[in-house]
Amino acid sequence: MAQKGGAPFLLSLFMFLSMLSSLCDCHPHPVQSMSSMAAVRAVSNHTTKKASDIAAEVAGYADVAKQIIDLAVFGAAQNRSYRRLAHFTDTIGNRVSGSQNLEMAIKYMYKAITQDGLDVHLEPVKIPHWVRGKESAEMTVPRAKNLAILGLGSSVGTPPEGIEAEVLVVESFEELNRRASEAVGRIVVFNQPFVSYGETVAYRAFGASEAAKVGAVATLIRSITPFSINSPHTGWQDYKDGVKRIPTACITVEDAELMWRMAQRGQRIVVRLTMGAKTLPDADSFNTVVEIKGWQHPEQVVLLSGHLDSWDVGQGAMDDGGGAMISWEALSLIKDLGLRPRRTLRTVLWTAEEQGGVGAQQYFNIHKVNLSNFDLVMESDLGTFAPMALQFTGSEAARKVMEEVVKLLAPINTTKLETHGEGTDISPWMQSGVPGASLHVADSRYFWFHHSEGDTMMVQDPQDMNLCSALWAVVAYVVADLEDMLPRKPLD
């Protein structure tokens, strides 16, 4: 409610700031860029350049790239993104979709970015509002043991008195189907091994509905992580239409293995599960949009992004506070150097990513009318550990350009361009043919902390965030300032 009441003020403030920026060009174009632009000024946006011409144009940004890197890694902006993230997460905490904390986070970022001297506005969206409520689980047979659980997003609750039932432990959907007759009236425990997140997450997403099909009364899912210190990991789950909705929660790897071993010995296992989860009507929220307007083609956009929401455990520092902060920091670095690219740089801090990219999908639905003006979409949502490469999806001609761009990152040793840019929030754009990019970081520990109480500032390293910010800023600025937009590949 407070967010709605502040909207007229925020809108008026944004209009005032926009008017000031139009009266005073506070971001003059750098001399270094002007020299490279002059060499190719006669080439139209629709002309195919020779590889040597592209290489020469991009190489002309070497000095600018070094300035950005020096400022981020060694200069006055050193550790700034880390400090911003620490203050933000320490002040707000976790920020689940629909919560007051998320509303506070959006207000916090609006104020902070305004004070940073960047243009910022809010775009309204509707987002899911699921509330965890009180929850507990206890094994009562063959011995008493409290089970650490986290209810899964969108789960229904149990009756107030809870559910107490025998347990059936399985290691796969195939085993569940083979033993379907044993599942009736039971709590199904999935003890699936971790293969990869992309493969194993299906048990979290669909385990409840698959178990309900064969008569189970609830499910407990082994947390989707390769490493555990008795830490449950939550996440979104999807009920299938036409299937009874049963309560579902994640348990620790240790407890899933414990019950599997007991079951292998033929021991009878009974668990009492209590969950107060409920889904409320969709809530009002906002995507937070920050811009440096392009000097020549302001209608053309290079978009950087991370998501502002998190789960309701930990601090949401890694997922995805770090990605949000480096996407803000990239524009701060460019502003601080007095740079203003040919095209608009636009950072979007998404809302409700964890519920399936809800805020981003609504943004796409509104802005896809201008699809041809989106030059590159970028998302950081796999942590801000030490950067190793840039991942890219686009045409072969665009890849040739990006291969030259990443060469500018030689001072921080991240000159590798990999395939497959990824990100829930930018996927609608990439599926529509817009080139996309994401960070490949040293993420071997990412799923240790993912969606758990362990996602705190202790995971973050300031130097790693400096490097990620530098990479993000260099790539975004150079692509936004090149003479031509990145070539598109035709859609099938």
Convert the pLDDT of each residue in 212-232 to its tens digit: 999 999 999 999 999 999 999
**Segment 420-441 mean pLDDT:** 97
Q: What's the Cα-to-Cα distance from 204 to each of 231, 278, 402, 427, rounded to whole Å?
A: 15, 18, 36, 21
Residue 358 is predicted with a pLDDT of: 98
**Segment 345-359 mean pLDDT:** 98
Residue 326 is predicted with a pLDDT of: 99
Residue 36 is predicted with a pLDDT of: 33
- pLDDT bin (cut points 50, 70, 90) of residue 123 is very high
What is the identity of the amino acid at 190? Answer: F
State the catalytic residue, choosing from 353, 354, 404, 483: 353
Q: Is the predicted pLDDT of residue 23 greater than 60, yes or no?
A: no
Average pLDDT along the chain? 92
Q: Is the predicted pLDDT of residue 154 greater than 80, yes or no?
A: yes
CA dist 158 and 79 (Å) reads: 46
Residue 48 is predicted with a pLDDT of: 63
- Of 363, 341, 388, the residue nearest 485 (C-alpha): 341
Residue 49 is predicted with a pLDDT of: 80
- CA dihedral over 14, 16, 21, 26, signed as positive or negative: negative
**Segment 9-36 mean pLDDT:** 37
- pLDDT bin (cut points 50, 70, 90) of residue 20 is very low
Kindly provide the b/e burial profile for residues 451-468, where b requires at least 16 CB atoms within 10 angstroms of the residue's own CB: bbbbbbbebbeeebbbbb
**Segment 255-272 mean pLDDT:** 98
Residue 113 is predicted with a pLDDT of: 98
Whether 425 contacts 305, CB under 8 Å: yes
Through-space distance between the first and last CA atoms of the chain, rounded to whole angstroms: 45
Among this protein's residues, is 418 annotated catalytic? no
Residue 269 is predicted with a pLDDT of: 99
**Segment 123-137 mean pLDDT:** 98
Predicted model pTM: 0.90
Whether 438 contacts 476, CB under 8 Å: no
Interval 283-327: pLDDT, tens: 999 999 999 999 999 999 999 999 999 999 999 999 999 999 999
What the chain holds in terms of domains, given with CATH numbers, is 36-128+281-481 (3.40.630.10), 133-276 (3.50.30.30)
Residue 311 is predicted with a pLDDT of: 98
Q: Is the predicted pLDDT of residue 87 greater than 80, yes or no?
A: yes
Q: Is the predicted pLDDT of residue 11 greater than 70, yes or no?
A: no
Q: Is the predicted pLDDT of residue 201 greater than 90, yes or no?
A: yes
Residue 159 is predicted with a pLDDT of: 98
Q: Is the predicted pLDDT of residue 42 greater than 70, yes or no?
A: no
CA dist 51 and 359 (Å) reads: 38
Rounding to the nearest 10 degrees, give the CA dihedral for residues 432, 435, 441, 447: 0
